[in-house]
Each structure stands twice: as C-alpha cells, then as structure tokens.
Amino acid sequence: MLPYATIEDAAAALGRNLTFAETLWYNYSANKSDYFLYCHNILFLFLVFSVAPLPFVVIESLRSDSFDKYKIQPKVRLSFSEMVRCYKDVMRMFFLVVGPLQLVSFPSVQMVGIRTGLPLPSGWEILAQLVVYFMVEDYTNYWIHRFLHCKWGYEKIHRVHHEYTAPIGFAAPYAHWAEILILGIPSFLGPAMAPGHMITFWLWIALRQIEAIDTHSGYACCPFF
C-alpha cells in the first residue's frame, strides 16, 4: 500500500510530477496491500497457462505443411482430446500446488526486497533486471534438470513430465508436484539476487512461463514468422 494520501503527496515526496505510468500505478495500487498486489501472479499465471499455448493448439490441429516443416517430430501428434486432457491436468495442479504456493510465499518476496512503491523503474532498469533473471534461471534450471534426469530423479519425479512424448505448449507445466516446487527455485533466484519492482516481477513470471510454453511447443522455431 502506498504511503501517500493523494497524488499531490506522492509528487511532493518524489520532488516532481508523476509520470503517466506512475499516475496509473498510484490510482490502481494506492489502497491495495502489497500482499494483494503480489497475488496478481495467480491470475497472470492462469491466463498465461490458458492462453499462450492456444496458437500451438491451432497449428497442431491444422496439420498444415506450412507449419509442419517447423515441427521437431512431424509424425508424432497429440489429438485434440489429449491436449484438452493435458490442460485439465495442468489446471488441477495449478489449483492444488501453484496457486497455494503463491498464497503462502509472499514473505519471501518481502524478505528479498521486491517493492511496490514509487518511483516506478525505468525501462532500462526493467530490461537489465530481466536479462539477469533469464541468465540466472537458465543456468540453475539446466543443472536441476540434469539432476532430474539421473536415475533416481527421473524415476521418482521427472518421468511425469515426459508422459507426453509429443510436446505441446500445454505440457510445459505438466509435471510432478515436487518438480513444480523445485523448479520454482530458479525462477525466484534472479529476483532474489537483483530485487526490483513488483511490476518487473509480474513481467518476469509471465515471460518465464511463455518461454517454457514456447520451448515445449514441439516446433524448432516460431512458425508465425
């Protein structure tokens, strides 16, 4: 919750007028708790998991040669019913694991110093932090993924993620509940190392999931370009 009663108070504290973006942020967040703002991630994750894979569902259903030339396994496909089942399984895990994890993990966000106040970060600050987050996540995710492919990790945990041998965007977060928890660590390490604004954190979580959906889409490159 912002510690300013009015926009004029916020401008006086900053020593300048608020930018357009800061005015929007003030009007939206001034009377909302930090915890409520953090919990927006639940909505963003639900929307990303539900909407981002849909273009790949469409092109998978079209079975067009124009798209198939980009497909890694052109002869291996999931039926529409299988894709729907995958989405239902992912949503079940979302409501049982991901959502509750978001609800109880706010103290860690407070501890590392992710802020919600003014001023808002500049575009360059957001970009620099996102670069750090992607690099940290990519490195740590690689080693955790290698561990999950060892005999014990695969048999006990990671095999669930490979139940869908034909990759599709909806299967990106399809995994054992323990893997979902473990792979949350690389996603949080970057913000913990270089904490920024809540808006940057929202953007990072959304972009990270979109990246995962793209890499699990089954296509070697984006078929839309």
Does 39 map to a domain?
A: no
Does 37 map to a domain?
A: no
- Residue 150, C-beta contacts closer than 8 angstroms, at least 6 positions apart: none
Residue 221 has pLDDT above 70, yes or no: no
Runs of H (alpha helix) within 161-197: 177-182, 184-193
Check residues 78 and 48 and name the one with the higher pLDDT.
48
With a threshold of 0.85, does the pTM exceed it? yes
Residues 82 and 136 in one domain: yes
Does 221 map to a domain?
A: no
Mean pLDDT of the chain, nearest integer = 91
Instruction: Read off the pLDDT of each residue in 51-66 and give the average, rounded to a whole number.
Output: 84
Helix %, strand %, coil % for the chain, to 5? 70, 0, 30
Residues 99 and 147 in one domain: yes
Residues 27 and 122 in one domain: no
Q: Which pLDDT belongs to residue 154?
A: 95
pLDDT bin (cut points 50, 70, 90) of residue 3 is confident
Residues 3 and 103 in one domain: no
User: What is the SS3 string spanning 35-81?
Assistant: HHHHCHHHHHHHHHHHHCCHHHHHHHHHCCHHHHCCECCCCCCCCHH
Most trustworthy range by pLDDT among 95-99, 198-202, 215-219: 198-202
Does 160 map to a domain?
A: yes
Q: Give the CA diameter of the chain.
A: 64
- Residue 10, C-beta contacts closer than 8 angstroms, at least 6 positions apart: 2, 4, 18, 22, 26, 118
Residues 28 and 114 in one domain: no
Q: Which pLDDT belongs to residue 45?
A: 92
Residues 166 and 82 in one domain: yes
> CA–CA separation, 160 vs 164, rounded Å?
8
Q: How many other C-beta atoms can be found within 10 angstroms of the C-beta atom of residue 57?
A: 19
Residues 172 and 74 in one domain: yes
Residues 150 and 174 in one domain: yes
Residues 11 and 116 in one domain: no
Q: Which residue, among 110, 109, 103, has the nearest Cα to 39 in the 3D structure?
A: 103
Residues 56 and 138 in one domain: yes
Structural domain boundaries, residue 191:
45-215
Instruction: Read off the pLDDT of each residue in 57-82 and give the average, rounded to a whole number.
Output: 81
> CA–CA separation, 180 vs 95, rounded Å?
12
Q: Which pLDDT belongs to residue 49?
A: 92
Q: What's the structural domain count of the chain?
A: 2
**Distance between the two ends of the chain, CA-based, in angstroms?**
43
What percentage of the chain exceeds 70 in pLDDT? 98
Residues 71 and 98 in one domain: yes
Per-residue CA distances from 67 to 6, 55, 213 (Å): 53, 12, 17
pLDDT bin (cut points 50, 70, 90) of residue 225 is very low
Does 109 map to a domain?
A: yes
Does 95 map to a domain?
A: yes
Residue 152 has pLDDT above 90, yes or no: yes
Please say whether the beta carbons of 44 and 202 come within 8 A: yes
Instruction: Read off the pLDDT of each residue in 180-196 and give the average, rounded to a whole number.
Output: 94
Residue 132 has pLDDT above 50, yes or no: yes
Does 24 map to a domain?
A: yes
Helix (H, G, I), strand (E, B) or coil at 166: coil
Check residues 223 and 200 and name the one with the higher pLDDT.
200
Does 102 map to a domain?
A: yes
Residue 222 has pLDDT above 70, yes or no: no
Q: Which residue, among 55, 40, 46, has the nearest Cα to 91 in the 3D structure?
A: 46
Residue 16 has pLDDT above 70, yes or no: yes
Instruction: Read off the pLDDT of each residue in 96-117 and give the average, rounded to a whole number.
Output: 93
Please say whether the beta carbons of 73 and 171 come within 8 A: no
Check residues 220 and 115 and name the one with the higher pLDDT.
115
Residues 99 and 17 in one domain: no
